[in-house]
Structure 1
Amino acid sequence: MSQVYITQRMVEFADTDMAGIMHFASFFHYMESVEHEFIRSLGMSVYSQINGQSISFPRVSAKCEFKSPAKCEDVLDARLILTRIGRSSLSYQIDFSRMGQPVAVGEVTCVCCHIYHDRPPESTPLPDEFLEVLTPFLVTT
């Protein structure tokens, strides 16, 4: 059975619109924050040095489907599952809920890349160090 990463976020005033409802763009910040917290909980970083190379994980896709409004000071449960491990990419689903009620479902895909200061990032296979700690979280059907 796959492992799941669960954390919480409180909706801050700055994350809401004039009606006090969480602004749609804030969910994307929360998704990235949950993803980074998950990676750090595994002893890794989204920006690492591996074999003398800078490695990071730029996003290539992100979407969010909204189910019900969240309001200022609501505490949201965030449940991250790893839905796919590719040769160089990772896909996540992040489910947000409030007291068991679905609020939003986000999906993010990122690609492992060598990061250079003088040229664009280059896709690279996921390092074994990452595969070892991520694989237990992969949802298998």
Structure 2
Amino acid sequence: MFRTQRRIEFRDTDAAGIVHFSVFFPMMEVAEHDLIRSLGLSVLPDRGADPSEETLTWPRVAATCDYQSVARFEDLLEIDVAILNLGRSSVQYRFQFWQSSDRPEDRIAVARGTLTTVCCELHTGGVLKKTPIPETVRKLLSKHLDR
């Protein structure tokens, strides 16, 4: 499991001062990117000198979020990320959002969600082609499989 944090900003809240439901989706994406970077991988590698060279990208094919309690402006959220399923060409992530606390047993569950991504080669002109997850990437991702 991987853990990252995010402080709730004013722009994340609705008129009632509660985090707007839609904000959890970009927070899941940022947490996924934090996990990927922690493995020494790039979210979207630079093509370098050869723009015709294929590069991997991970478009989303499904996203869910279930809300358990409210979060408000300036709350510090802890986001636990695990991989539920590591398929041939897809990754399904699980996210659990917690209100941070000095005592782990006092954390409050805020939301839980999933993202499913598919490994694709990004070709010139923005063309995507589904491809198997490279073994080197699979090995790194498997460190975060939910066991």
Same fold (TM over 0.5): yes
Larger CA Rg, structure 1 vs 2: 2
Query: What's 1:73 paired with?
Result: 74
> In structure 2, what is the Cα distance between the partners aligned to 1:19 and 1:118?
44
Among residues 30, 34, 38, which one is paired with 1:37 in the alignment?
34
Which amino acid counterpart does residue 13 of structure 1 have in structure 2? F
Superposed, 1:83-102 pairs within 5 Å as 83-98=84-99, 99=101, 100-102=107-109
5+ residue gaps in structure 1? none
Question: CA separation in 2, counterparts of 1:79 and 1:119?
Answer: 32
Equivalent residue, structure 2, for 1:5? 2
RMSD: 1.4
**Structure 1 position 119, deviation (Å):** 5.4
- Measured in 1, the distance between the counterparts of 2:98 and 2:78 equals 5
Shift of 1:73: 0.3
Contact 1:49 1:55 (8 Å CA) reproduced:
no
Runs of 5+ unmatched residues, structure 2: 48-52, 102-106
The match for 2:115 is 108
- The structural deviation recorded for 1:117 is 3.2
Matched letter for residue 118 of structure 1: G
Instruction: Tell me how far 1:129 sits from its aligned partner.
Output: 1.9
TM-score w.r.t. structure 1 length?
A: 0.91
Which 4+ runs in 1 deviate beyond 6 A? none
Query: Structure 1 residue 136: deviation in Å?
Result: 1.7
2:11 aligns with one of 9, 14, 25: 14
Q: CA separation in 2, counterparts of 1:129 and 1:48?
A: 15
Q: Corresponding residue for 1:132?
A: 139
Q: For 1:37, give the aligned amino acid.
A: D
Q: Is the 8 A contact 1:8 1:78 kept in 2?
A: yes
- Please tell me the residue identity of whatever aligns with 1:70: A
TM-superposed deviation, 1:80: 0.3
The percent identity for this pair of structures is 40
- In structure 2, relative to structure 1, the CA distance for the partners of 1:29 and 1:128 (3 Å cut) is same
Spell out, residue by residue over 1:24-75, the C-alpha distance to the aligned partner (whole angstroms, 9 max, x if none).
Answer: 111001000000011001100121369x421100000001000001000000
Q: How far apart, CA to CA, are the structure 2 residues paired with 1:24 and 1:18? A: 12
